[in-house]
Amino acid sequence: MRSLRFLLEKEFRQIFRNPAILRMIFIMPVIQLIILPQVADYEIRNVKMDVIDHDHSMYSREMIRKITSSGCFELAGYHDSYTAALHDVEHDRTDLILEIPAGFERTLVRENEAPLFIAVNAINGMRANLGAAYLNSIIRDYNQEVRAEWIRFPRFDEQPRIEVQQRNWYNLHLNYKLFMVPGILVILLTMVGAFLAALNIVKEKEIGTIEQINVTPIRKHHFILGKLIPFWIMGLLVLSLGLLVARLIYGIVPVGNIGLIYLFAAIFLLAVLGLGLLISTISHTQQQAMLIAFFLMMIFILMGGLYTSIESMPRWAQVVTWFNPVTYFIDVVRMVVLKGSGLKDIAGHLGIIFIFAVVLNAWAVFSYRKRT
């Protein structure tokens, strides 16, 4: 145990002697946490629309006015031909083309039915789908008005209607930041922990000091603990800093018990650091360690459920996410911060992350070899 004290002393000294790293650990996450959540907004608004109006009728103009005044769509261009409008799509100057055929108004009134053409840039399928759905619903509403104008007195009973009334819980104002900030914080924390730990032991290998350590009677688990604890403390500091930013800048105050977040983070960090140290012990150069860490981080982050929902993934990919510690932490932070979930609600996740921590650290100790 005594040697652990000296290991810790040494690690802390080395960390604090390197201002570049310190800046990286503390300032970079804060800056990113301040900037990036502003970006995270999937809402369908400001969809750019080109209009080709071959009809130039009162109805067509009125419909266009309805669409542009909805707030979802903004008129990007007015064209005479579909080719010209398509050119705008190719330039990404517009997302959507609305083409009103000649005689639209006349056909609608005389033949009871008039077509309308909509073309959507569907490279981003989800956005295209929702955009088209919104446009459809605005047109439906307008259609209803037209109908009401012509059918003053309903000729038959109104048709049965089922209304859907939606109530939004936990985030009344549909504030995306409320949702993104905790998630981004988790990712930043994961990166800081994993990258630093992954680089640490392998750096001693590259410099050669590890030889000197290996020839001492130091215990393997003491050595790993000596590496783990400083980063663990720093991780918790970064978390606190992040929560402070969330509170001061975004006004996010966890609904649930903040102690739960710390409890979970404490174990989560052990898991992530264990993984980092494991990478470090199996790598020969910092370059290798970094590439492996980068590979895993990219999977952890993109498949952590922050950006895209896990339920929508194919089955095998969902199985992959079970082995992603980040998924559990993002889930827990959101549950506690936004919904006020309690210890009982997160107990399952807590158990799983505990297993991660034990397995990864045991593995790291095991694969750290004092001799070859």
- Considering only residues 33 through 62, tell me which ones interact with another protein, judged by CB under 8 A: 35-36, 38-43, 45-46, 48
Q: How far is CA 5 from the centre of its chain?
A: 39
Name which position in 65, 80, 92, 244 contacts another protein (CB under 8 A): 92
Residues whose CB is less than 8 angstroms from the CB of residue 302 and which lie 6 or more positions away in sequence, other chains included:
308
Q: Which of 345, 350, 358, 362 binds another protein (CB under 8 A)?
A: 345
Q: Note whether 210 and 201 are within 8 A (CB).
A: yes
Q: Minimum Å distance from CB 348 to another protein? A: 9
Smaller CB separation from another protein, 273 or 358: 273
Identify which of residues 93 and 358 has a Cβ nearer to another protein in the complex: 93
What three-state secondary structure class fits 372? coil
Q: Within 219-258, which residues bind another protein (CB under 8 A)?
A: none
CA–CA distance, 282 with 289 (Å, rounded to integer): 8
Strand-pair category, 73-79 with 96-100: unpaired
- 146-185 residues in contact with another protein (CB under 8 A) are 146-147, 150-151, 157-172, 174-176, 178-179, 184
- Contacts of residue 19, defined as CB under 8 A and 6 or more positions apart, other chains included, come to none
Question: Which one of 295, 322, 323, 366 is in contact with another protein (CB under 8 A)?
Answer: 295
Query: Stretches 12-20, 64-72, 236-244, 264-272: which one binds another protein (CB under 8 A)?
Result: 12-20
Q: Tell me if 71 contacts another protein by CB under 8 A.
A: no
**Using the rule CB under 8 A, is 307 a contact of another protein?**
yes
Question: Quick check: 12 binds another protein (CB under 8 A)?
Answer: no
299 binds another protein (CB under 8 A): yes
**Which positions from 14 to 33 touch another protein by CB under 8 A, shown as an x/- string?**
x--xx-xx--x---xx--x-
3-state secondary structure of 218: coil
Per-position DSSP letters for 227-283, written without gaps between them: HHHHHHHHHHHHHHHHHHHHHHHH----SS-HHHHHHHHHHHHHHHHHHHHHHHHH-
Encoding tokens for residue 129? 């789908």
Position among 9, 251, 259, 355 found at the interface with another protein (CB under 8 A): 9
- Residue entry with tokens 């922990």: 193
Compute the C-alpha angle 15/21/22, nearest 5°: 70
Report how many residues bind another protein under the rule CB under 8 A: 144
**Residue 132 in contact with another protein, rule: CB under 8 A:** yes
Residue 239 CA, distance from chain mean position: 18
